[in-house]
Chain A
Amino acid sequence: MSEPSLSPNGSVPTEPAVPLLELRDIWAAYDSINVLRGVDLVVPEGSVVAVLGPNGAGKTTTLRVAAGLHPCAAGDVLVAGHRVNGARPDELARRGLCLIPEGRGIFPNLTVRENLWMMSHCRRSLKEIEATAFERFPRLKERQTQTAGTLSGGEQQMLAMARGLATEPALLILDELSMGLAPIIVEDLYRLVASVAAEGVSILVVEQFARIVMDVADVAAVMIQGKVVQVGPPKELEETLSQAYLGG
């Protein structure tokens, strides 16, 4: 067996880390209308990647393709280096790929506790789920017997996140967390996202209001008309973003 070669500084070169999620040249359509036109996106392990762009850029479709909810016409979806095109979304979710959709996806007629109970299918006891959720979101403990539909928008989003985090995701996908919420609530939620990211969860977040995620994201990708036009540190993308939003 041959010895591993050393790099110039004398250390053994390591294999480049396999990204937790990679989209390669993804094309996707609704009927005959192409929405994604060759999207390339990489979410490295333990990082927060923000996908930014104006309405209709294809951000949500990108997330849906990544989560297995929408088929891609061409291209490869790789999770932890394995091609998962055609995998059922529930299979991916059960293994730790969690999507919190736009519109929250909670059961409005069930109480907060019952909504959390629904997540007890995923390897964790109900007590553990409740303990984690109420520790992160003390407000939910106060509202545990209230039906989810009667919660405020921010509380509903907290419940959605609590449900998502109950699955102990390895990869968390967030779609428009700020949708319909007051800025102060959004700041709180993104503070939580930052704390979840600090624990090592890889996060892919789509956000129309770019400023909010700039502080949280390690990498940002700007999408326009179904393509990723630029990827880089958030601070470097401000000009591209203003062009994307204002058409300047």
Chain B
Amino acid sequence: MERSERVEQFKADIAEMGVKDPAAARDRMLLRGSVVLLVAGPVLGIIAYTMSHGTENPLQQRDAIIVALIGLSLAVGGGALFVRYALASFMRFWLARLCWEQQAQTDRVVNALESRGASVDARSSQTVTAP
């Protein structure tokens, strides 16, 4: 295969890959899912209330209790997911900042040691040249 053809094929293959950022996409999807669950929980609760309020049949009222419990579970689960994925981005930022500060601190220490080494060298050369 000609070299230029090979390069063109390579470019086409890479373009076909269509790589997305899988982690970010999943995080975003789960965050949105958690919001949906958070909304769905109370909605189910309200539906359960209207169900139980509109009937005197104890069987239907028990059904309403079950629907309300499902709504509560969804709301709790959604809340947990929301906290997890809303915090994740903040935690990532916090970690990046920590890394940066650690690196900056290392740079300061290295600079301090270098300048200290340079001053010691200068002093020792003065001592040698002194009569």
Contact = CB atoms under 8 A, between A and B. Distances in A.
Interface stretch (A84-92, A112-120, A187-195): A84-92
Contact of B17 (A18, A37, A87): A87
Nearest to A45: B7
B128 interface: no
A95 B11 CA distance: 9
A94 to B, nearest CB: 8
Contacts of A92: 14
Contacts of B56: none
A199 interface: yes
A199 B3 contact: yes
B99 interface: yes
Nearest to A91: B17
Contact of A85 (B1, B21, B95): B21
A230 B19 CA distance: 31
Contacts of A27: 96
B17 A80 contact: no
B4 A170 contact: no
A26 to B, nearest CB: 14
B3 A79 contact: no
Nearest to B95: A32
Contact of A20 (B7, B22, B98): B7
Given A45-B7, A171-B10, A86 B19 contact: yes
A73 B94 CA distance: 13
A200 interface: yes
Contact of A32 (B1, B4, B11, B99): B99
Given A20-B7, A80-B10, A168 B1 contact: yes
B59 interface: no
A86 B98 contact: no
A119 to B, nearest CB: 16
Interface in B14-68: 14-15, 17, 19-23
Nearest to A226: B103
B99 A84 contact: no
A32 B19 contact: no
Contact of B96 (A73, A81, A85, A97): A73
B20 A80 contact: no
A74 B96 contact: yes
A160 to B, nearest CB: 21
A199 to B, nearest CB: 6
Nearest to B11: A80
Interface in A89-109: 91-92, 95-97
Given A32-B98, A86-B22, A170-B10, A80 B103 contact: no
A147 B4 CA distance: 36
Interface in B79-97: 95-96
13 contacts: A27-B96, A32-B102, A34-B99, A34-B102, A37-B103, A73-B96, A82-B19, A84-B17, A87-B17, A87-B19, A95-B13, A171-B10, A199-B3
Interface of A: 18, 20, 27, 29, 32, 34, 37, 45-46, 73-74, 79-87, 91-92, 95-97, 168, 170-171, 199-202
Question: 10 tightest CB-CB pairs across the interface, nearest first?
Answer: A170-B10, A200-B3, A95-B13, A80-B11, A96-B10, A87-B19, A80-B14, A79-B14, A84-B19, A34-B99
